[in-house]
Chain A
Amino acid sequence: MYHINEIVKNNTLIPSILAEADANDYIINIGPQHPATHGVLNLLITLNGETIKKVEPHLGFIHRSMEKMCESLSYRQFIYVTSRMDYLSAHINNHACALLVEKALQIEVPERAQYIRVIMDELTRIASHLLWWGAMAMDMGAFTPYFYAFRERELLTEIMEDTCGARLTMNYMVPGGVMQDPHEKFQHRVTTEFLPLLKSKLHEYEELVTDNIIFQNRVKDVGILSKEDAISYGCSGPTARASGVECDIRKLYPYDIYNKVEFNEVFETAGDSMARYLVRMKEIKESVSIIEQLIDNIPEGDFQAKTKAVLKLPKGEFYQRVETARGELGIFVVSEGGTTPYRIKFRSPGFSNLSCLDHITRGSKIGDLVASMGTLDLVIPDIDR
């Protein structure tokens, strides 16, 4: 085994954690290839036995320079790139881009399209939370929930596939509406197949994971993030709401028809991993209720507004935020009046949520790090674009 000082001596490009480490520190690399990181995230953790002294996340393993890439794409084309950011809420990312273009060009979106978009968003949110649930349980060492979650998610992706033609990166939203009218069986399948199935299986999730004593002990009072810290780290979405921060963009800055539907913003106050878990589980139920309100009331009309073939944004700066499954996604575009953005910036929820990881895991065990990371719901391409 190499001594830590040797590594420091022989390496000029050393992470700060190694530079600061003293000779007795026990440093472990979690990732970039590691089962718990769900992708290529590298965590340098300093250990004292089982106890974590410091966590330092390292990014850059999946950097695809998306912002730069979008600068060379037209306003119709750059939407599809954002599906690859947070691939679990691809619809919602696309939605944000479409909204931004519509806001800049003042395109009136038909009401039918707005309904379809919101339903799709909420279906995506359910799909994302289901996958998170399975993956988080797998981090905790329970393999079976993963398959149960995928059973419901599979039906959801099939419904998506019927309408959008793809299962993960749908690319369904376009400026001015949606690309195609929903499949004629869309409403029928959601109301008679998916929603009853999900509702009948939600109790299984509780029996298998939520109520399980081992699971509860693993997540209760683990990775506590206080309200103040959640705000100062810029956390958003379920992560912040678990600490009691009011930050649901759907409520605060409603877009499309979110101001017409009735739903509750889910809160927990404990701020621990259990609270984050419960917020997401309750959000599934809230999403179900939103879909139930909308699915039978989709108005007739066009699914797409008439837009010009070539979109040119007026000169200026535009910002649009939406609530993805992980939190607040902001898109900022500087336009010079051309067909492509001059500069584009994504404010992704995962990056801010990851930043609190060191804070919430210091002094806890390695198992707690895995639990905290699982409940933060990290999607690495979202953190590192």
Chain B
Amino acid sequence: MISFENIVKWIQAFLSAHLPHIWVLAVEAVIIIIAAIALFAILGLVLVIMERRVAAFMQIRFGPNRVGPWGLLQSTADTIKLIMKESIVPDNSDKFLFNLAPFMVMIPAMLILAPINFAKHFFIWDLNIGILFVSSISSISVIGILMGGWASSNKYSLHGAMRSGAQIVSYELSGGLSILTIIVLCGSLKVSDIITAQETGWWIFRGHIPAIIAFVIYMIAVTAETNRAPFDLAEAESELTAGFHTEYSGMRFALFFLAEYINIFIVCAVGATLFFGGWMPFHIGTWHAFNHIMDFIPSSIWFFGKTFFLIFLIMWFRWTFPRLRIDQLLNLEWKYLMPISMVNLLVMTVCAIYHLHF
């Protein structure tokens, strides 16, 4: 049977048969880099078209449906346009930081791909502190936003960047705490361990109400962390025109834009891993026949299906809700999400200690 696992094994066997060990590593690294960039490009194109279609259907219109079949090539055409556009650098800007900022947003997004299990035994680097790695690297992206906002020498940009800083730093807390509730349940930070622990059922079903609360808080927190509406204060267009990327144009803007979508994919992939068992198929207790059918669906489809469902949820939020005000945003975090997730963590710890979960 063809699976990602077998392909990886075959490539490894092929390379080690022909090349010395150190060269095998080097070639594999190159393959991974190319694959990661390709994944980024494809994800960017797919997610943009998905967002536009979801928005359109919610707003009782068709959305892009002219370029290519069902408008699927629209985002490709847009990318070509962005590449060909002149990337204007403002006169008073700090040129070095201005040029660096988009990459400072993109590179962390790329790094986080490492521990994610895309399919059964298919990952770049399953390090033993996978989830910690994810949450620590994801906080770096705020530096890129601050950098871009500061270097633009634009008051809107600076304002947006400052808002973004306050927002991301505070929402990481409740995001991290809701991740912890699941870590408490499975007792490991390693992504593959977390997934194997959910073989008998996904944590969101087995973890009683605390797991559901943790999931809700996680979704709110990551929506805020990725600067998506209703928490898109960093780029609130009715207040700050475009926030931190006001002065960016052409491909530099596209990098910011792409990074936003990649970040959504990553946080949703982590959410799917933690709460919905990653690539683990849907199993119901002792219904062996049903479980067997579920096992036939490839693990990569399970993983991407779950991730895209969560991405859809985040898009659904965006196209329904009005935007919060900055003080309400911080109130929500510090007065509601933080206390709730702390109590929730405590309850979950008790559950885990006494093995009260299913």
Contact = CB atoms under 8 A, between A and B. Distances in A.
Given A144-B58, A144-B59, A151-B60, A212 B322 contact: yes
A148 B326 CA distance: 27
Interface string B310-327: 000000000111111111
Interface residues of A, number: 33
B72 to A, nearest CB: 23
B89 to A, nearest CB: 15
Interface string A134-151: 000111111110111001
A26 interface: yes
B256 to A, nearest CB: 18
B153 A141 contact: no
Interface string A43-56: 00000001000000
Nearest to A30: B239
Interface in B71-108: 92
B114 to A, nearest CB: 34
Nearest to B329: A367
A73 B71 CA distance: 51
Contacts of B153: 1
Chain A residues touching B, majority SS: helix
Contacts of A368: 325
Interface string B269-312: 00000000000000000000000000000000000000000000
B162 to A, nearest CB: 8
Interface in B58-74: 58-61
A109 B80 CA distance: 62
Contacts of A1: 92, 153
A214 B153 CA distance: 32
A208 interface: yes
Interface residues of B, number: 30
A104 interface: no
Contacts of B326: 50, 365-367
Contact of A365 (B58, B241, B319, B327): B327
Contact of B241 (A2, A26, A34): A34
Given A147-B59, A217-B325, A365-B325, A35 B320 contact: no
B156 interface: yes
A217 B328 CA distance: 8
A99 B238 CA distance: 39
Given A35-B237, A151-B60, A144 B320 contact: yes
10 contacts: A28-B155, A35-B237, A50-B163, A139-B238, A141-B229, A144-B59, A366-B240, A367-B236, A370-B238, A370-B239
- 7 smallest CB-CB distances across A and B, nearest first, come from A141-B323, A367-B325, A140-B322, A142-B322, A147-B59, A36-B238, A139-B238
Given A139-B238, A212-B321, A218-B328, 9 more contacts: A2-B92, A34-B241, A35-B238, A141-B230, A141-B236, A151-B60, A214-B321, A366-B239, A367-B323
Interface of A: 1-2, 26, 28, 34-36, 50, 137-144, 146-148, 151, 208-209, 212, 214-215, 217-218, 365-370
Interface of B: 55, 58-61, 92, 153, 155-156, 159, 163, 229-230, 232, 236-241, 319-328
